[in-house]
Structures are given as structure tokens and as C-alpha cells.
Structure 1
């Protein structure tokens, strides 16, 4: 008997356990207001990139957790707007069935392709069922020519028929993808019962039928549409108005479960998904949870107008569960609700339903006080509620607000004009009239106990309350009044140093008080660069925590120096409003991102948000605490959040970073590849401003996800932004950059691989190397052309100037030559005159013949600029012979010409040597007395020059000069001077090629003169050139 009692007790305990609500879920909502194209959602799919695809009655939607992108025939090549089902293949491409055909979505190009049906039938209804391990697409067609189930090979583009023994509407396949299809559970072709179609090698081996009206079974219609296989032999199905169907295909048994909390379900169940050992079932009355181990319904979630995080409606059509245990519920006409099933052990006390049940006006908690395992909760505008350790309301002080638990374990409460003190038996032991103590009737902010029987009360001023037995006294702290302090809260008493820290003037000032001579005196105002919202003792001695708007500060209570911890140190958020320290050095934080727990050993934070069941959007600052069993209690605008950190139900989903669009000059650019698949982008020239749209895909609480991005070479650090976000860059110099983006989870940890895109900014054409090369080439070409033109001009000018100079020199030479000839003729005529005067007619005749011949040559040569060397020597010999005949002195001569000059017709200026020969005879040889005179003429070449040397043994230039000075009329050699000028003019025409050098011979035995004349070596050819 005892054994049976124990068994019965265990069964009852199990039933009670299973009967408890296993899920506390907070839902997010996606409707047309959030961008959904239609509120009737028929099918859902989470793809490998993290996007949720939603098939609606009016288009296909892609949802990244915050925004929707809609695909319709008018903006994409998709075959229809009424989406029937979606599957994904191994390449990440999607196959979408509609009422009007089958479409393939290419994830790399973000484009759709129409896939023809078997027999090329047009306008057919298609239903992609799954993708198997061989990459075959299993598709059900409902056309006239192509009715039935087929496999489609995307590589060969060929269909293979499988069977026609299937219902019009297949259940949505949610088993593991890319597996061999061994069985399909669906209705028969008349939508009756459930067929188990057994397959091998994609061929039908056997069909087992259940609940089709045969074999003494009842007939149920449309249940195959809601079939959910559970292993090889169990099939669950909805579709009935009176229960959940369980079929064991091996045992051929059928069971129907139609009771919830000992009452009939009385509603039609729809689609089913399995999570662990629970079935999650949609219905027209809410979302049911069925425990497959206990085989009973354990919970129903419904819509509540007073709870925004509840289901948006009760008509739950299609539940969908992704690989991260995100649960999506399509609501008929109300869009989609979504949440995550992997939650922490978070309880919500004092919900709005509880407030309605107990007659509370509001569930906004503004202050908490802990006494043992009880929670004294100050409700905003609803008094104080006392809860036990399970959140059950014990009593309600409707008009009083809890303010303090003192060292005697008493609770202090206040209302306008009155304080009351409640002992451990919840008996009021003292009522205090605030007017009797000189306290304001209202406006109490905070009370702390500094020592037994001594308290500080913060109104807009600070008062010390003294308790002596049953008497109380209040003393204002005037020292603070001098400081102009108002609104003195929060406060913390430091018993080790006997000082009080307080924040005042709406947290803009931080002050330290110390007691001297039984009076609280103002000690110090540390210079802080932040507001202080809350103060708590730290784990380390002589340290306190300051919760601020710039982070979490750890201050030394003796030196008042501090260290500020921020998001860079791993803090979830820089705005910290409350801290609850634990004895082991861990602590809880309330930040702008929710509740966070710090693990000192791991040195990391864990955030608790709405997806964990922490439903309050904001939490109050005062009195959050830890229960004796370790649970943390936080008050907020939606009741109390109670978190049990001991629960080993860790949940961690890594948000995925996605690039959802690419912009150039703030205009979306349609790339050949989808933005999320891009490895490189290259805007056109003159486009240096670009950007990316980013999304961190996480469906539990996407707004808590942080995104970071940077452009290599431009951004020195990662830029942190919210989710979603846009990264924009303007006027980026030409070059190649790497754009990187990543997602961080709500704790600030890097949670997804870095997305990297190569960005190539092309320089404007005027900055390109080829343009600069062309430009430089043009400038060089123009410079060269200008140089050539200028050079031609300079050469032309130089040539013109040389021609003018040549003409002028030639004219001067001719003039000199015309001056020389009369001089020589004058001297010859004097000689003839001398012969006639001396009656030497024969000599005169001979001389006259020679003279006439010489004159004829001179006249002939005077018309020529250059004559041959032979002609010049012939004329020169005639002149020398005439000088020998007419002179009274004797001399001899010799002329030597180099053989090369006789062979070639070399030219010299006419009669150039004659003046030097004349000067040698008249001024050198004529005055020689002792011996006969002589001179030698040598014409040769040297260094490509013609050299003529005239050497005489006359008296020399010095002696000739003395003779010339002794004369009454000094003679001047006009011919010699003219010849020297001719040589200078020749040197102007032929630079550095003509010269005259005269050397005197002065020895003890010899005298004379050497004349050396250098001329250019000229021929007829080079004179012409």
C-alpha cells in the first residue's frame, strides 16, 4: 500500500510540475507598420545568411530584424504575389512557389529567374517542399498537365515524376534540410486522412493511409496539411476542432488529446513545430504548448491588450522555429510575432494582470526594500505591496510608500504628513507626525540609517532624525543649506570612515559629509565630470561604486580619486543607473541596455533583456537587491523582474552582420551581385562619395545589437553605431580601401566574422597617370615645337645677321682692296717715271710691259674675292721682278709652295701677301749695306689651315723705324694697314681661322723679320657651301 502511495505521489508531483507554465515569452511584432507587405503571412524561412523570408498574400518579404524588403512582380522577376512556400538549396539560393509559377532567387545577384513547369505549362501553382542531400528540389505542382510531386535537378534542369497520391496542400517541411527523403506525410489526393509515402531512391515503395475512413478508421479531412513527423514512427497532426492527433505508424494506433486544464480544447489546431520535448501548436484561441513526455497540454499563450509583449492576436496560424530557436508565429491578419525560446530563468512579478487581479492602479515599481525573503515594493501611485519569495502578494499598504528597513529589521513607510514603523510581525509600532518634527509634509526622497537610532532624511533639504526610545527629533543640517543643495538623493553611509556620500541638485553635484561634534558638516565636493545616479559599497575596502552617465566609477573613500569604467572596458552601456553588489565581488548593473550581471572571475558582462523575459523597458534606481537564495530583484515600469543566475540555461546567439545596400552619392546602386555578396565595389570616375547599409541580424532583441565599421586608411578606429546603421563616406581620395563591418552582441562581445569589402575609388581622368602622361607629352610636344620654332627663328636671325655681317665684311674687304690697288699702282708709276727721267727707254719699255701685265692681273684679280694660289704667286713674282729692276739695291728671293697646295685648287684672298713682300723689300732689304738682301716665301698647311711665312734678312722693324723717324716726312705703310684689316675681316667670316703674326729676328749676326699669315683652307666647294 505504501509503495502505491509513493508512486501516486510521484505521478501527481510530475503532473503538477508539467502543469506549470514552462515558457515566459515576450514577443516582438512585425506588421505592415514595420514594413511588411501584407499582414497575412503563410510561410517563413530563415536562410543561411540569417534573413527571415516571409511569404505573404501580397509579395515576398526579407526581414533582417529591423527592416523589411519587399519583392513583387512589379519590382522583381518573381512569378506571383501569393507566396505558397520557400526552401533554400545548398548554394543559398531560394526556391519560391506562388499561385502563378516557380521562381529561383539567386543570392549573389539578388535576382529571380522563372522556372518552367514539367511540360512547359504556364500559370501553374507550385509548392516547393524540401531540398534533399543530392541537391534535388522536391516540388508539388497543381497544374492541369503537371499535377503531382516531382524532383527537379537544377544542374540538368530536368524533372522526374514521383507520385500523384498527395493532397492539394502539403505540410511545410521543417525537418533537417539536405537529408535523404525517406518518407512524406500528407493527405491523400482527396485531402482525407494522412498518407505515409515511403520512398527509396526517390521512388515510392509503399503508401500507408490513416484516418481516411477505411479499415474501420474515421475519416478526417485536411489534417494532412498540419502533419508534423516526430521521428520515424510518430506523426502529430492538427486540423481538428476537438484535439491533437498522435499516430504511431508502426503500431497503427491513433490517439486524440483534447483536454487542457481539465477542459475541452474547443478550438481548431493548426500547424505544429517541435522544440525539445514540446510541441508548439497554433490555434484560433492562442498558442498551445504540448508536453510529448507527459502527453498533455501544459500552457497556452494568448493576446493581452495590457501587455505589449504578448501575442498580437489569438489566431496563431503557422509557427516556425529556426536553428537559433527563434520562434515566429504568423497571425491571421496581424502579421508575425517572434521571440526566442532559449531564455534565462527570469520571472516577472506584479504583471498588469496581477495588478488588475489585486486592484492595483499601476504596476510601475519606484522603490524596493528587502526584509528577509519578503519584497516591500513601492508602487507608483498605488502604495506599498508586500510579496513573498514566490512573488505572491501578502498585503497592501495602499496609502503608504516604503522608505527604509532599519537595523532592528523594522520597515518604515511614509505618506503625506505621516511616517509609520512596522515590526517583524507586521504590526505598526509607531506613527510619527512629520509636522511635530518640523519636517515637510511631503516630498521625501530618501532615508538612510547612519547608526542605531540615527537617520538622515532627504527632502529638498537634509535632516538628521534622532530616535530616543519612543521619541523622535529632527534637526536640519544647515551647513548644507549654505552650499545651496537641493534634492539630496541618493545617499550612502560609509561606516568605516563615518562619512556620508550624497548626490544632489538632480545628480549634478557630489558631496561628502562628515560628523564633527555631533553635527554633520560639509567636508568636500570632489570634482567629477559626470552625474551620480546611485552609490553603493564596493567589494574592496574603502571603495565605493558610483553609477554615472559616463560609466561606472570606483572611488577611494579616503583620497576621493576614482577610476572610470566605460564601454571600452566591456561595460554594456555608459549610462549606469544602479548597481547591486554581491558578496563574492560580482555585481548587477542597471544600464540603458537593460540588466547586466558581471562575473568577476570571467571578467565579463551578461545582459538580460526582453528576450530573456526582462519585460520592463526601464528600471528604477532605488533599492534593487538580492534575495537570500541569490535571485536578483529589479523594479521597473512593468513590475518586478526576478533573475536566478544559478539557472544553467545560457543562451547565446551571434548576430550576423549583413551589408544590405550599397550607395554612391546617396543613390542605391544595383550591382551585378547582391550587396551582401560583394567582395569589391568600384564606383565610376568622379564618384568619391559612397556608403553601405548595415544590419546585425538577431531576432531576440535586435536593437540591443551594436554594429561597428571602419574604412582602412581613413578610419583609425572602429566606429560604433546602432542597429541597423548606415556608413557614409564623402570625398575619399583615389585609391584602394578595405571596408570592414562587424556585429557585437548585447554584452559588447564580437559575435560575427568581420565582413570585408574592397572599395576601389578611381581618380578623375585628369588625375590618372595616363592623363598626366598624355598631358606631359602634350606639354613636352608643345615645348619642343615652340623650341624648334624659336630655334628656327634664332637660326634664321643668326643666319641673317651672319649674312649681313659677311656682306658688310666683304664690302669692307673690297673697299680695302680698292684702296690697296691705287697705292701699288702709284709706287709702280714712280718706278717708270724714274726710268724715263734717266732716259732708260729700253728698261722703261720692258718695265712698262711687266707693269702693264701686272696691272692687267691686278685689275682682273680685284674683281675676284678669292683667287688660286698659283695666280697669286704669278702676280707676286711680277711685282718682285719690278721691284728688283727699279731698286738701286740688290736682293734675291725664293717662293716655296707645298705640293698638296699645287695639286688642289686651293684659294686665297687676292693680293693678300703682296703688301708684306713690299714692306720687306722697301723697309728691310733696301737699307741693307753690307750684303745683298734676300727673302723667302713658304706656303704650306698646318692643322687644316693655310700658313704663309715671309722671311727676310733685312735690317728689321726697329732699325727701319729709326730711319723713318729721321725723315722729315714720315711714311706710313697704308697697304700693310689695309691688309691687316682684311685679315681681321676674314677672321669675322671664318672665326679663329685667320691670323697675322710678325716676329723680329734679333741676333748678334742676323736681323730681319718673319711674317706668318694664317688663313682658312679654302676650295671652290667649301666657299660655295
Structure 2
């Protein structure tokens, strides 16, 4: 019975051990649920980009702070037991497996011995050891090594070793290789008294050092410091020159040492076989005696640990994944101001000398002088604290189901009664307000008297703001309540207030459950603060007033400080990476420059000055791991990326290795050439679909916790070349070809239209020619008819001499008329001769009744041609209808040829009776010749595109001038 009881107790102890060991604030565990799919993790390393590389029994992993990428058999590994992955300066990662099957990672691909036959040279019967200098890897077996293999730039060279020449039965162990001095340090396991040898791998020279090495001793080295481990003891030496060792000190622990690690800051970590690690504050370079170490991760078998370039510490463990702790939390834990501080705090307050803590059970704590003293109110009762109020030595702990009064001077505690309590707040001297589901009650503790103020209504918080007035907040609304009249008046509707504080004499601040922070007076709301204005959440728990211009807000997403500057607000958010034990903050109090924060993982004690001085930027850059264009992924991102449609879908695979942010990574980016607006994405992949042709620059910032931004952006140039139909020359050719085609089509259209018009004009011309011939045919008889009338008139008068003269002139006229009637055009000089002949004939007929004048300007070329027989009808009309009718004066006819404005102007004037208008002349006089001439003018215009203008006007009746003027404007043509 006793044995079974002991066994059960032992099992319970193992199961509950994590609850008895103090939690380390800020410690993060990455395991299978985080993507680290393995049982054992081995060595850790960090490359120049900041990525963490983890060796394991299931391949190896790369971690960028947000996700683990696994390299396994599918990736090309032949051996999945990877002890180390060694990043080199050229970007390669050499993979150090258990036994053989060495490989390396280059540009995202595993290169094994099938891909690179150089790796087949490296073969061992026993586990290998290595040394590397960031450019080359030196690989050798610890047991009687025969060769050293050097891997550099994808080539393997072999350095043969010939140190064991005297006695081949001796067994030598290779301890470490100094690649800078090319010295391989050896020990003879057959003879533990034999000193360590320094063997030059190139010259073969052996030098005996000044210290021996026992059989059960293991060497660990960091630069010039050599640490020899023997079960529970370490001995530290410093190499003064290549062969002389100086002993620094010896230190022993109570447990067997599994591993010795010296981090980059030259601090010693001892990994214990039973689990956990011991950390020494002193550095090797200080040459100080090692003091009592600080335990870490008890119960975890630690295979390796590493301090990264940001001084964060990583632990690889057996079966429990990888642990991570930031420099801030490690320092906090190492210099822990409070021991056993890991309780779940739900309420916090202060008095003159103490910080008062309420837990999520019927217990409380009093912090003073770097220690927490626990108070137990009721054993094993899981009721949480809602609020704590202190008045000098009297402290009231408000739990969800009871109210406890505690006297700090006497240590006396008293449970005042059961309440369905929501909060307690200070009221007047020696009294408090109890907010509960039953209403609002005041309690005067010297007299132990309760006074009901508000009955049968849930009250969650309250705040006195005047002598007889207070605010009372229900689940939904905020009321003003008069303590004398008991009058309750609605003040703010639909606000679930969780805390109320006075900011100044007339200004108040309240936290709400869903509407952020409200700043108000007793008349109106002044300001509202929410997620849109910079708060991490709209659900706020408590307020701690720093001064009239600043206050602190506690939330489930960290702690916020709000500073008021006029009408503006400056909000600083603080979370676990800033030093909070947890982001679940129940409340805080301020004393001097120190803020005490109650969280779900204990009490955080932070300097306000240090919090406000924390960097707003992160000294890192986002990393572009690969670029996928179309369906091809490129891991060498230093090349110039040029693609062409349809391969114009681009994806950038990003990382921002800011491990302090603990995965809360986002990216702020823009693509110059596509747009100027910045975009924010929580995805590590930036996808650009169907990028049009052009040159672009991707600019991307990494964003860490609380929106902290990288100092400088990462930039990448890429270009999408156009298809031939998208090029400028093709477009130019297309435009030219299209224009030519359009011109041809338009020309064809107008040619067709022109041909049709020409065809029409051809027929019209034929018609016009026939019409012109008809007109000419009409002119000739008309002229002859007029002449015969004149001859008849002369014969009637029996003037035979005149008749003979007239007939002579008439015969000439007939010949010329017949001659010119066959011609379309005639020269100006011939027109002048023809008109002179006609006027002489008419002058003879009319017995010198008129005189005429024909003048040709010097500007007129007499060889210019004009339509034949065009002027004679107008001259005839002037004689017949103008001159023949006058009796009081002698008739005058003037014919003038002039060149005006690029036209031949022919003027015919008479001093006859005149006409009022052209229409009157034609209609009243019945001038058949003029009408025929007008038809000929229109026919010439249509047939020969000759520009002819006719103007007829009558001079007004004035003393100086009478008669009619006719002007013909003709475009001249040279014969």
C-alpha cells in the first residue's frame, strides 16, 4: 500500500512539476504546432540574413520568426539525422549529418552527392567533427583521423594527416582545429599523462603543449578559451600562444554535465544530463570567479543553445522543440527582482509602501523589498479578485464572491460577507463604494455600517465627482446619482464602463468594454479613443492616472500610455516584447519612475523612462527569399529579373527575421511604376498578377510588434518586357500601316466617288457640249436675223451705198462668226477685232448715232483666251436697249479689258437709259442674247471649271453719268 502511494505521489509530482517550477517570463516554445515537426533538435546556427537554422532527427529547418521551412527527403536529403547546418558567407548552408551523406543548400535547393560528386570524397567510419571559418568547412573524425576534408565553393579538397608515425597502436583523438593557425589539437587516449599535441596540418610539425588531457575529459573551445569537462567539473584554460595554456579556474556542480556552451558574449552555459541549463553571469573575458549559476528550463534536456546577433537566446531540446527568450526577459530573469513571481494577477493597487496584488483565486500578495508575501483568504477557493482599495493600513480585497478587509499593521483579516461583486472604489474618508449585481452600497468601515444607494440594479463601477454626486455605470449606461435626493439621471447611453478615474478637477476618463476610452466632463463627451486612433483594442480594463496629461490603459492586448497634448493624443503601446510578463494585463500602478504591471504571468516591474525610450524602428531589413515568375521560382535574388508576358505573374516570398516580435510580422510595400500608395499585408507573399510591360521597383518594409517599422526598405528592380505587339516600333508600324490602310480605303472611297462623279460629269459634259452647240446654233441665227433686219432697213430707205458697205462688213462678220462659233475659246486680241468689226457695222447702220472705245490694259496678255462670242451679245444689248433709245445726247459705248485680282475683268459701259436691276433688264427688254450668254456662262463653269462672274448694274441718275455697266470676271488662260 505504501509503495503504491509513493508511486502515485511520484507520478503526480512529475505531472505537476511545471506548476511548481517558476515560469520564465517571455519564454516562448516552438514545437510541432509551430511547424517544427521533429522529436530531437540538435545544433542551432544563424546566417548573415538573420535566419535561424535548426538541426533535427527529421531533416533541418529554417526559421524566420514567423514560420519554419523544413528540408527533408523530399528536398533531397539522403540522411535525415542532421546534427548541424552551417551557414557560409557565400549564402550556402553546409549540412552536417549523422555519419555520411553530406550535402549543402544553395539557392533554395539541396545539393547531395548525386548532384555533386565532390561530396563523395567525404567518408567516415565514425562520427565526424568540424571547424569552419564562414568560408570553408573543415571536416574530420575525432577517432584517429587520417584526413581533413575542406569544403569550399562546392569543391572538396583532402589534407592527409601523418601525425601517428612512431607507434601505430596509439589512439589519438582530434580535439579541435584552429583554421586560422592550421593547428589540430590532439590527445593520446592510451596515455592520459601525455600532453596535448598541436599538429600543423600543412607542414606536419608536431608541438607538445603544456597540459595533459584525461581519458574521460571532453574539450569545448571558444576562440582562445579551452574548457575541459569531466563529469561534474569544468576547468577553464586560456591559450596564451599556440602551445601554452594558462589555467583560469575550476568549477564543480552537483549534476553531471551533458554539454558545455560558451555563447557569443563569452558566458558559460552548462547543460545538465538530468535536464535544464545553468547560466553564469560572469564572462570569460572578465577573468572573474564563477559565482552561483542561474537555472533555466529545468526538466528539459538541452542539446544546444545559441545567442543570436540581437542577444536573444535559443535552446534546442530533446523532445520539446526549441525555446526562445529575448535579451530583455533573460536579463529580467537573471536579475529577477521578485522570486516565485508567476501567479495570475487579476487586480493590482498600492499604498504608501507596498504593491497589492489580487490573484485569480482566494489569495493575494503584498510586494515589498523585492519579495512577495502571500495572503491566503480561503483555501482552494477559485474566486478571482475584481479590485483592491487601500486606505493607509486598511486594505480591501474585492473578490468576485466576497469582500475581505485586511489590516496591514495587525495582520488581521476579516471576510465582510458574500457579494456578487463587480468592483470596489474609494469613496469618502473611511468608506468605500461596493459595486455589485445587487446595486451600489457604501461601507463605512470604522462603524461597519452599510448604506444602500442604488437598489436592485447591476452597478459595475462608480466615481464620486462632487460632494453629493457620483457617476454610476451599469452594464449599458452611465448615470449621475445624487446621494442626498437619491435622484438618478441618465448621462451617457450605451456605454459599458469598466473603470472611471478623475483626470483633473473637471475632466474624467473612463474605460469601456467595447468602445475604447471616453474622456468627458460632467456635461459632455470631449474625446473618444479607439483602435482607429491607435489603441490595440476597444476592450479596456483599467485606468491608472500618471498626471493630468497622461494615463495608462490596461487591456488583454498589452499596456497603453496616452499622453494629451492640446487636442491631440500620443499613444504608445507596450506588449510582451517590451518586457511585460504577458499581454493579459489586469491593471497597473505607478510609483515614481517605476510602473508595476499585473499580468496573467506575474508582476512586471518596469522603468517608465526605459519604456518611453524604446526604439520606434527596427534595425533590420525585410528579406526577399525568392521570386516566382510564372511557374518558375528563383532563389538567387541578386540577379536582374526580366520577364515577358504571358510570364508576367510575379510572387515575392518575404521574411522579416525580427524574433522579438514573436511572429507578429507584417509587410508594408509599394511597387513604383504600378502605384504610389503603400499597402500593408500580414502574408509573407506579395503577389502581382498580370503586370503590364514596364520597369518597376518593389519597396518593402518589415513591420514588427506594435507596428514598429524597419529602418530602411528592401528594394528590388524587375522588368516586364512587352510582346512584339506591345512594343513601340510595332505600335508605330501598326499606326503607320493603319493610317496607310485608312488612307487607301479613304482614297479608294473618294476615287470611287470621284469616278462616279467624273462619270456623271462626263455625261453632264456631253449634255453641256450639246447644249453649248445648241446655244451656238441659237446665237448664229439670232445674229444673222438681226443683221438681215438691218439690211432690210437700209434697203427700205434705199440707201444702196450704205447697204453695200454694210454687206461687206456683214460678210466679214458672217465668216468670223461662223469661224468662232466652231471654237470654244478665242484670244483677247481676236475678240477685240471681232468686237471692232461688229461695232463698225452697227455704227454704220445707226448713222453715227454712237461712238465706241475699246481699250486693253498693259497688264492684259492679248494671247489669253476667253470663251468665244461671250461679249458680243452684251455689246449688242447695250446698242439695242441703251443707245438706240436716247435722243438728247450722243451714245457712247466703252469696252475695257483689265487685269484685277488675278482675274481678267471685261467692262462694257453705255450711257443709255440704264436699267434698275439685272432681272428688269432681262425680262423687260427681252434680251435673248443676254439670256443665252448667261446660259453659256453656267455651261462653261460646269464644263470647264472656268470661274466666270457676271455683274450688271445701272448708274443712278446723276448729272455726270448715265447708262448701264456690265462686268465679266474671267480666270484667264494663256493660249
Q: Is TM (by shorter chain) over 0.5? A: yes
Match of 2:584 in 1: 618
1:45 equivalent to 2:33? Answer: no
Gaps of 5+ in 1: 1-20, 174-178, 305-313, 353-362, 435-440, 960-969, 1021-1025
- The structure-2 alpha-carbon separation of the partners of 1:840 and 1:493, relative to structure 1 and needing over 3 Å to count, comes to closer
Partner of 1:818: 777
Contact 1:151 1:162 in 2 (8 A): no
User: What residue in structure 2 maps to residue 316 of structure 1?
Assistant: 302
Are the counterparts in 2 of residues 685 and 764 from structure 1 also a CA contact under 8 Å? Answer: yes
For 2:331, the equivalent position in structure 1 comes to 343
Tell whether the 8 Å contact from 1:31 to 1:39 is kept in structure 2 after alignment: no
1:534 is aligned to 2:505:
no
1:379-432 Cα distance to aligned partner (Å, 9 max, x none):
545556778762355766427778766647345679999877555576758676
Partner of 1:357: none
TM-score, reference length from structure 1: 0.67
Measured at CA, do residues 536 and 697 of structure 1 come closer, stay the same or move farther in structure 2, by a change above 3 Å?
farther
**What is the match of residue 36 of structure 2?**
36
In structure 2, how many angstroms separate the alpha carbons of the residues matched to 1:570 and 1:562?
A: 17
8 Å Cα contact 2:401/2:421 also seen in 1? no
Partner of 1:13: none
Per-residue Cα deviation, 1:320-363 (whole angstroms, up to 9, x for no partner):
222222222222344322223442255666578xxxxxxxxxx5
Q: 1:122 aligns with which of 115, 120, 123?
A: 120
1:280 paired with 2:269, answer: yes
* Partners of 1:914 and 1:416 in 2: CA distance: 132
Q: Find the aligned partners of 1:375 and 1:550 in 2 and give their Cα distance.
A: 29
Alpha-carbon shift at residue 460 of structure 1 (Å): 0.7
Quote how far apart the aligned CAs of 1:237 are: 3.8
Corresponding residue for residue 489 of structure 1: 460
**Please, which of 653, 656, 659 is the counterpart of residue 699 of structure 1?**
659
SS state at 1:36 partner: coil
> How far off is 1:527 after superposition?
3.1
Using the TM superposition, give the Cα deviation of residue 235 of structure 1 relative to its aligned residue in structure 2, in angstroms: 0.9
Please give the residue correspondences for 1:385-404 in structure 2 after superposition, counting only pairs within 5 Å: 390-391=371-372, 393=374, 397-398=378-379
Partner deviation per Cα, 1:907-963 (whole Å, 9 max, x = no partner): 6666667778888999999999999x99999997756888889999xxx8569xxxx
Distance 1:646 1:945 in 2: 103
Give the equivalent residue in structure 2 for 1:236: 227
Q: 2:954, 2:841 → 1: CA distance?
A: 27
- Larger mean Cα displacement after TM superposition, 448-457 or 26-35: 448-457
Q: 1:353-392, aligned counterparts within 5 Å?
A: 364-367=344-347, 379-381=359-361, 390-391=371-372
1:598 Cα deviation after fit:
9.2
Whole-Å Cα distance in 2 between the matches of residues 756 and 770 of structure 1? 31
Instruction: Give the drift of 1:63.
Output: 0.7
Task: Give the drift of 1:443.
Answer: 1.9
2:452 is the alignment partner of 1:476: yes
> Are the counterparts in 1 of residues 827 and 866 from structure 2 also a CA contact under 8 Å?
yes
Deviation at 1:236, TM superposition (A): 1.1
Change (3 A) 1:856 1:332: same
Give distance in 2, aligned partners of 1:706 and 1:615: 23
Q: Does 1:504 align with 2:504?
A: no
Tell me if structure 1 keeps the 8 A contact 2:556–2:583: no
- Give the Cα–Cα distance (whole angstroms) in 1 for the partners of residues 860 and 377 of structure 2: 149
Is contact 1:951–1:1008 with CA below 8 Å preserved after alignment? yes
Partner of 1:658: 622
Deviation at 1:72, TM superposition (A): 5.2
Partners of 1:778 and 1:671 lie apart in 2 by 41
- 1:137 aligned residue: 136
Aligned runs of 1:984-999 on 2, under 5 Å?
985-986=939-940, 989=944, 991-993=946-948
The answer as to 2:439 corresponding to 1:462 is yes
> Could you tell me how far apart the structure 2 residues matched to 1:574 and 1:127 are?
56
Counterpart mapping for 1:620-1019 below 5 A? 620-621=586-587, 635-638=598-601, 640-643=602-605, 645=607, 654=618, 656-660=620-624, 670-671=633-634, 673-674=636-637, 695-703=655-663, 741-743=700-702, 746=705, 750=709, 752-756=711-715, 780-781=739-740, 784-793=743-752, 795-796=754-755, 799-800=758-759, 802-823=761-782, 863-865=822-824, 942=899, 978=932, 982=936, 985-986=939-940, 989=944, 991-993=946-948
Post-superposition offset of 1:1006? 14
Mapped partners of 1:151, 1:68: distance in 2: 30
Matches within 5 A, 1:19-34: 24=24, 26-34=26-34
Q: Is the 8 A contact 2:913 2:963 kept in 1?
A: no
Alignment CA distance shift 1:543-1:664 (3 Å):
farther
How has the CA–CA distance of structure 1 residues 795 and 257 changed in structure 2, closer, same or farther, with 3 Å as cutoff? same
Task: Map 1:98-177 to 2 at 5 A.
Answer: 99-101=100-102, 103=104, 105=106, 120=118, 122=120, 124=122, 129-131=131-133, 136-140=135-139, 148-149=147-148, 161=159
The whole-number CA distance in structure 2 between the counterparts of 1:856 and 1:443 is 143
Say which structure, 1 or 2, has more relative contact order (CA 8 Å, 6+ apart). 1
Which string of whole-angstrom CA distances, capped at 9 and with x for unpartnered residues, describes residues 192-246 of structure 1?
A: 999674779x9777555698xxx6x53247x35xx223x63x41144x5454354
Say if 2:586 is the partner of 1:590. no
CA contact (8 A) 1:386 1:396 kept: no
Determine the structure 2 residue equivalent to 1:964.
none
Q: Which of 794-803 and 845-854 deviates more?
A: 845-854
How far off its partner does 1:732 sit? 9.7
- Distance in 2 separating the partners of 1:986 and 1:315: 119
Change (3 A) 1:186 1:987: same
Residues 589 and 188 of structure 1: is their aligned pair in 2 closer, same or farther, counting only changes over 3 Å? Answer: farther
What is the match of residue 409 of structure 1? 393
CA distance in 1, matches of 2:562, 2:841: 137
Take 2:622 and 2:176, find their aligned partners in 1: how far apart are those partners? Answer: 27
CA drift of 1:316 comes to 1.4
Q: Distance in 1 between matches of 2:965 and 2:470?
A: 127
Q: Say if 1:842 and 1:468 are closer, same or farther in 2 by CA, change over 3 A.
A: closer
Are 1:343 and 1:651, in contact at CA under 8 Å, matched by a contact in 2?
Answer: no
The answer to whether the aligner puts 1:219 opposite 2:215 as a matched pair is yes
Is the contact made by 2:424 and 2:432 (CA closer than 8 Å) also made in structure 1? yes
Q: How many residue pairs end up in the alignment?
A: 906
> 1:583 offset after TM fit, Å?
9.4
1:46 CA drift (Å) = 1.8
The reply on whether 1:450 has 2:427 as its aligned counterpart is yes
Distance 2:784 2:312 in 1: 134
Change (3 A) 1:752 1:56: farther
Cα RMSD for the two superposed structures: 6.6
Structure 1 distance, partners of 2:534, 2:49, is 28
Tell whether the 8 Å contact from 1:492 to 1:536 is kept in structure 2 after alignment. yes
- Compare 281-290 and 568-577 and name the one that shifted more: 568-577
Question: 1:942–1:318: structure 2 CA closer, same or farther, 3 Å change rule?
Answer: closer
| Mapped pair 1:609 → 2:576 | yes
Match of 2:168 in 1: none
Question: What is the alpha-carbon distance in structure 2 between the residues aligned to residue 832 and residue 598 of structure 1?
Answer: 129
The change in CA–CA distance for 1:726 and 1:868 in structure 2 (over 3 A counts) is: closer
The 1:689–1:531 alpha-carbon spacing in structure 2 relative to 1, beyond 3 Å, is farther
TM (norm. structure 2) is 0.69
For residues 795 and 137 of structure 2, the distance between their equivalents in structure 1, rounded to whole angstroms, comes to: 149
3-state SS, counterpart of residue 122 of structure 1: helix
Q: SS where residue 811 of structure 1 aligns?
A: helix
CA-CA distance at 1:29 after TM superposition: 2.2
SS across alignment from 2:42: strand
